[in-house]
Structure 1
Amino acid sequence: MSTESTGLVDEANRDDATPSQDVSPSLYNGDLAPTKHKGRRWGTYNIFTLWANDVHSLGNYSFAIGLFALGLGGWQILLALGLGGVFLFLLLNLSGFMGEKTGVPFPVMSRISFGVRGAQVPALIRGAVAIAWFGIQTYLASVVLRIMIVALIPSATTLDANEFLGLSTLGWISFVALWIVQVIIVSYGMEMIRKYEAFAGPVILVTMIALAVWMLSNGDWAIAWSTPDSLTGGDMWLKIVGGASLWVAIYGTFVLNFCDFTRNATSKRSIVRGNFWGIPLNMLVFGGIVVTLAGAQFRIDGRIIESPADIVQEVPNTLLLVLACLALLILTVAVNMMANFVAPIYALNNLFPRHLNFRRAAFVSAVIGLVILPWNLYNSPAVIEYFLGGLGAVLGPLFGIVMADYWLVRRAKINVPALFTSHPDGEYAYVKGVNPRAIVALVITAVIALLVAFVPAFESVADFSWFIGAGVGAIVYLAVADRRGPFADVSGEPIAVASTH
């Protein structure tokens, strides 16, 4: 596998290479190394297609349509998504600029605030959430594949009558097929992911717009803008702002490790432009499609759909149904690649840099995503709510701590080479490689975030748990952080040393 991660010690990109004496082999490999600007290929269009895929994920459609079911009308949903888009645009720029400047992935970025060893904590939390959702999203995509297979081969229904470990034979075939496809794509590294996202983005946009137009025609070119149970007054505005906050929380994973992608960005300008077209503007398009799909279906038969997949199943033409299913499969794979595959790959690289590279870590992540039998997780409300929900609640405090340290304590002045040394006097060594102040801040704010998310007494503010966690995390960290240490005034451009290549 070729890697873009050349820079600090180019020779460490080879499995048989020995890093220079200033770099600890337990902290460095070619995939964790900072990227150099001259080798970066992620421009405005590539950043945009990340969001063109992720915003239009089936999970996001289910969430936004759920707002319709909860009593928000068309314009209220658009306003909630618009507000959420503005918040995300600002947060993602803050996170993205970090990757563009330093060229390192999230686990290495976490070493700045948590220490070169303590960074395992945020990296593994983010990776665990991602692996679980990788398996779940693959399972949800396999359901769409089953629909497509039965539409093409009706006799395949006989393979859907038994059960082994929670799935039928057809279910296993569908799941494993998609699992293999994703492993193959990701095994070629970030460059292949970039190309796949660039291909999938337009496909998804065209498909979803076509589906909305088709539904609009079925509803005599009119939609229901609200349900009879629509909210009004203060309850309506609270739900709008709450919906915007939850929309940001959905992306709580991505705002945390956006640097995994922007470490390959050509410039800050490309990040801003890609985020602008891909977040606030794209989200308004997404909102328009949501309102059309939900409003048209409600006008037709008074039913509130749960997902675009519900509509796809009702497409009367087999060819169109198959094309729609293919588009949804392309979408889900694209979302899984960016949101749920890259993070655990870098987390595992960070954990075992001597033994893993991008391809090996990808395979390990995929195997874990398979053996946990993710359909059982998805079908267990307790697991989704308490385990994955609990880990998700911690992502807000992590974001607040990392951002506060980078932007407010260090003022974006980072000594990149020091991120790869385990020397006791290293700038990010702290106490045996761990910053106890960051750990204390995380524990305190994680408890607060979990209480807000799960204790019934805080139900009225539960929608804002991510913002509360991030804000309190930043405040607590700023209160306990040691600001006396000198910070190297470096540009962030990795320092290259002699290469044997």
Structure 2
Amino acid sequence: MSHVIPPGASSRLYNEDLAPTEHRTWGFYSLFAMWMSDIHSLGGYTFAAGLFALGLGAWQVFLALVAGIVIVFVLMNFSGYAGQKTGVPYPVLARISFGTFGANLPALLRALVAIAWYGIQTWLASRAVIIIALKIWPELQGLTENNFLGESTLGWLAFLLMWSLQLLLLRNGMETIRRFQDWAGPAVWAVMGLLVVYILVNAGWKISLDLPGGTAEWGVTHAFFAAVALTVTYFSTLMLNFCDFSRFAPSRKAVRTANLWGLPVNFIAFSVVSVVVTAGTFTVYGEYIYDPVEIVGRIDSIWALLLGAVTFAVATLGINVVANFVSPAYDLANVWPARIDFRRGGLMAAMIALVITPWNLFNSPVVINLFLGGLGALLGPLFGIIMVDYYVLRRQHVLVRDLFREQGYYTYTGGWNQKAVISFIVSAVPAVVFALVPLFGALSAFSWFIGAIAAAAVHYLISRNDTSLAESVAAAAAEEADPGAPWTHVPGRGEPGEASGGRGTGRS
């Protein structure tokens, strides 16, 4: 792997994939399609119906979804604008607050969550492949009756097929991924449209939207706000690394408009359709079916089964690529830029996801609840620190070139900002406790918010009088005012989102 390193940059911090991009090919539609791919998944399908288990009625669930996704929209814009302005991916953006080498802490924590779910989602997508295979070739049933490392021969073959298909997206890096997302998200909408019409026609257009749920253990008000918080938490991973995608956007307006249509509008519409289809299954089949693949499987048509299963397999790949593939590819590249680029990082993530046998993770309540639940609780503190540092303490003034230097404003102590680490530890402990300890069950849904707010507050209080921070802000503001500054990338001088004065050699 070879690339030209700009003057002053370090091979320990720089490669072309991590560098500020100059390829602004992700316009409104590509970002909007990315959100469709993220939301149009089996998890997204069942999410809204799952909120009824909190003890809420249809209107309460709807209002909670609206409130939650509006908060997500606002917070996602913060991450998106930062990526669009600096042109750098999440692990490089984290260098601003955590330090040039300290950024590996938030990067690897995000990567761990992503790789585990990458394997799990790939395995879930393979379930649709098995349904198709057995429908077309019933004689394959014999391949489902053995067991090797917790999975049958047919299960392994289906998993390896979906695993391999995702590696094809590595061919041209982010550009191949963009082209995949451009059609994957809308394809699911087309099938969902057919599915909702089929269910409504067979139900005689008479359904009840009040799905069966649980009881509000701590009252309806608590259940409502818990539903709002869970909606935000559902998007917590991408709130950290949405800049991996928005860095390729031509303007803030493209980011904002795509987020508006892709999040509040698209998410609410998809949630409503999901609830309508789930509710209709009771009228049609006499029971509530929460898995759309199973609904399609009950349609007496091999073509309907093929269309539905293929579509939902594609949908699962879509969310996997967006939420669980791109992030670890960049995060692992950040560890050793001289040897690991985006493609190698993605390949490493895929290999790890394979050897951990994700079906065993998914089938273990201890792993899902403790390991992944605990890691998920750590994402809130990371978001709080990175965003308060960028928007409040630095007021968006960053010397991008220093993010790739071993001696610069973001070196701190040996490449680590100890104040950010302290802020993270202090806030991460209560976030994990509230998320996992049964005694604090009433607060578990709010662990992301607790961690994010606590981390932001602590980091602000202990960093606001930092003289080196003030110096870096002044230097960055001065350089932004100088169009002739060397090796910098500061979009936004003149028209929003225009790159100016850069020699960064980003590759999309």
Write the distance in 1 (CA, Å) between the matches of 2:154 and 2:331.
33
Structure 2 residue 489 is matched with structure 1 residue 483 = no
> What's the counterpart of residue 468 of structure 1?
450
Deviates more, 1:397-406 or 1:46-55: 46-55
Following superposition, the deviation at residue 71 of structure 1 comes to: 3.3
Write the distance in 2 (CA, Å) between the matches of 1:168 and 1:234.
43
Write the distance in 1 (CA, Å) between the matches of 2:141 and 2:431.
46
Structure 2 residue 228 is matched with structure 1 residue 222 = no
**How big is each residue's C-alpha offset from its partner over 1:245-279, in whole Å with a ceiling of 9 and x where there is no partner?**
10110111000000000000111000110000011
Q: Per the alignment, in what secondary structure is the counterpart of residue 413 of structure 1?
A: coil
Following superposition, the deviation at residue 236 of structure 1 comes to: 2.9
Deviates more, 1:341-350 or 1:486-495: 486-495
Contact 2:49–2:211 under 8 Å retained in 1: no
**How big is each residue's C-alpha offset from its partner over 1:386-420, in whole Å with a ceiling of 9 and x where there is no partner?**
11111100000100000000000000001000000
Following superposition, the deviation at residue 233 of structure 1 comes to: 12
Counterpart residue identity of residue 385, structure 1: N
Deviates more, 1:18-27 or 1:292-301: 292-301
Following superposition, the deviation at residue 69 of structure 1 comes to: 3.9
Write the distance in 1 (CA, Å) between the matches of 2:402 and 2:394.
14
Write the distance in 1 (CA, Å) between the matches of 2:212 and 2:158.
40
Within 5 Å, give how 1:239-258 maps onto structure 2. Answer: 239-258=223-242
> What's the counterpart of residue 421 of structure 2?
439
Within 5 Å, give how 1:6-21 maps onto structure 2. Answer: 15-21=1-7
Write the distance in 2 (CA, Å) between the matches of 1:147 and 1:457.
41
Counterpart residue identity of residue 496, structure 1: G
Of 189, 192, 197, 2:173 maps to 189
**How big is each residue's C-alpha offset from its partner over 1:207-240, in whole Å with a ceiling of 9 and x where there is no partner?**
1122122122222212122146676898333322
Of 370, 378, 391, 1:407 maps to 391
Write the distance in 2 (CA, Å) between the matches of 1:422 and 1:384.
38
Question: Structure 1 residues 377 and 498 mapped into 2: Cα distance closer, same or farther (>3 Å)?
Answer: closer
Write the distance in 1 (CA, Å) between the matches of 2:43 and 2:417.
36
Within 5 Å, give how 1:91-130 maps onto structure 2. Answer: 91-130=75-114
> What's the counterpart of residue 313 of structure 2?
329
Counterpart residue identity of residue 31, structure 1: D
Contact 1:187–1:358 under 8 Å retained in 2: no
Q: Per the alignment, in what secondary structure is the counterpart of residue 459 of structure 2?
A: helix
Contact 2:58–2:211 under 8 Å retained in 1: no
> What's the counterpart of residue 458 of structure 1?
440
Counterpart residue identity of residue 455, structure 1: V
Following superposition, the deviation at residue 159 of structure 1 comes to: 1.3
> What's the counterpart of residue 152 of structure 2?
168
Of 15, 19, 28, 2:14 maps to 28
Structure 2 residue 36 is matched with structure 1 residue 47 = no
Counterpart residue identity of residue 418, structure 1: D
Percent identity (aligned): 43
> What's the counterpart of residue 496 of structure 1?
502
Question: Structure 1 residues 102 and 221 mapped into 2: Cα distance closer, same or farther (>3 Å)?
Answer: same
Question: Structure 1 residues 70 and 233 mapped into 2: Cα distance closer, same or farther (>3 Å)?
Answer: closer
Contact 1:224–1:298 under 8 Å retained in 2: no
Unaligned runs of 5+ in 1: 1-14
Following superposition, the deviation at residue 468 of structure 1 comes to: 1.2
Q: Per the alignment, in what secondary structure is the counterpart of residue 378 of structure 2?
A: helix
Unaligned runs of 5+ in 2: 481-489, 492-499
Structure 2 residue 376 is matched with structure 1 residue 392 = yes
Structure 2 residue 137 is matched with structure 1 residue 153 = yes
Write the distance in 2 (CA, Å) between the matches of 1:195 and 1:304.
36
Contact 1:66–1:306 under 8 Å retained in 2: no
Deviates more, 1:124-133 or 1:69-78: 69-78
Within 5 Å, give how 1:283-322 maps onto structure 2. Answer: 283-301=267-285, 303-322=287-306
Write the distance in 2 (CA, Å) between the matches of 1:70 and 1:78.
13
Write the distance in 1 (CA, Å) between the matches of 2:42 and 2:212.
26
Write the distance in 1 (CA, Å) between the matches of 2:371 and 2:325.
19
Question: Structure 1 residues 278 and 174 mapped into 2: Cα distance closer, same or farther (>3 Å)?
Answer: same
Following superposition, the deviation at residue 17 of structure 1 comes to: 4.0
Q: Per the alignment, in what secondary structure is the counterpart of residue 16 of structure 1?
A: coil
Of 319, 341, 346, 1:362 maps to 346
Counterpart residue identity of residue 450, structure 2: I
Counterpart residue identity of residue 467, structure 1: F
Question: Structure 1 residues 212 and 240 mapped into 2: Cα distance closer, same or farther (>3 Å)?
Answer: farther
Counterpart residue identity of residue 441, structure 2: E
Question: Structure 1 residues 194 and 63 mapped into 2: Cα distance closer, same or farther (>3 Å)?
Answer: same
CA RMSD, aligned part only? 1.8
How many residues get paired? 481
Deviates more, 1:111-120 or 1:488-497: 488-497
Q: Per the alignment, in what secondary structure is the counterpart of residue 60 of structure 1?
A: helix
Write the distance in 1 (CA, Å) between the matches of 2:449 and 2:247.
25
Question: Structure 1 residues 318 and 355 mapped into 2: Cα distance closer, same or farther (>3 Å)?
Answer: same
Counterpart residue identity of residue 446, structure 2: F
> What's the counterpart of residue 3 of structure 1?
none
Contact 1:69–1:304 under 8 Å retained in 2: no
**How big is each residue's C-alpha offset from its partner over 1:166-193, in whole Å with a ceiling of 9 and x where there is no partner?**
1111111100011111001233210010
Question: Structure 1 residues 352 and 296 mapped into 2: Cα distance closer, same or farther (>3 Å)?
Answer: same
Contact 1:377–1:384 under 8 Å retained in 2: yes
Following superposition, the deviation at residue 350 of structure 1 comes to: 0.3
Write the distance in 2 (CA, Å) between the matches of 1:391 and 1:232.
27
